[in-house]
């Protein structure tokens, strides 16, 4: 689903998942997940049509209708809302606090974007078999 301008849910983070497919592969895990209806899927540079060429209904996996050929280049662009609100017009001398929301569990492998740092709050659980990669010189802070 492509759009021009600000999406209906405000600011977004765009994530890109690139996978070289194996023969017959139909399931592709999307890095960081996706908001249903806000993922564009390409195979070998060709935009696929949702519900015809693939399904994306669980927020984590894209399932191709027909299996990929070995070495096909799968790409998914997902757009997720930034859960950030701020009162830009303080009243009574006090503005509303700023909120950053995050899930309490890491459910799939994640690599921090090059030249970016990250922060999370609360108790964070990394599911068994899941790897979080933080490149040298970058930080992930959990408060």
Kindly state whether residues 106 and 67 are assigned to the same domain.
Answer: no
55 and 105 within one domain? no
Q: Which residue range(s) make up the domain with 110?
A: 98-143
Of 135, 105, 130, the closest CA to residue 118 belongs to 135
Q: List per-block mean pLDDT (blocks of 10 residues) for the chain, which spans 143 residues.
A: 50 84 94 86 97 93 96 91 45 53 85 83 89 88 86
Model pTM score: 0.54
Q: Is 46 exposed, middle or buried (0-12, 13-18, 19+ CB in 10 A)?
A: exposed
Q: In this structure, is residue 91 part of a structural domain?
A: no
Number of domains in the chain: 2
112 and 63, same domain (yes or no): no
What pLDDT is attached to residue 91?
44
Spatial distance between the Cα atoms of 81 and 12, rounded to a whole number of angstroms: 4
Q: How many CB atoms lie within 10 A of CB 30?
A: 22
Q: Helix (H, G, I), strand (E, B), or coil: what is residue 58?
A: coil
- Same domain membership, residue 70 and residue 116: no
- CA–CA dist 38, 36 (Å, integer): 6
Examine residue 5 and state whether it is found in any structural domain, yes or no.
no
- Is there a single domain that holds both residue 68 and residue 21? yes
Kindly report, residue by residue over 14-42, the tens digit of the pLDDT. 889 999 999 999 999 988 788 888 899 99
In this structure, are 74 and 124 located in the same domain? Answer: no
């Amino acid at each position: 689903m492509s759009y021009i301008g600000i999406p209906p849910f405000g600011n977004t983070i765009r994530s890109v998942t690139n996978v070289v497919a194996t023969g017959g592969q139909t399931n592709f895990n999307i890095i960081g997940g996706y908001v249903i209806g806000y993922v564009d899927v390409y195979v070998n540079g060709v935009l696929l049509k949702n519900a015809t060429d693939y399904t994306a209904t669980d927020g984590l996996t894209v399932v191709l209708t027909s299996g990929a050929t070995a070495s096909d280049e799968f790409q998914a662009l997902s757009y997720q809302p930034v859960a950030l609100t701020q009162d830009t017009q303080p009243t009574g001398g006090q503005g509303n606090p700023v909120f950053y929301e995050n899930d309490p569990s890491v459910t799939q492998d994640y690599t921090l974007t090059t030249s970016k740092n990250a922060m999370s709050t609360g108790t964070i659980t990394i599911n068994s078999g899941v790897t979080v990669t933080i490149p040298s010189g970058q930080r992930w802070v959990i408060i």
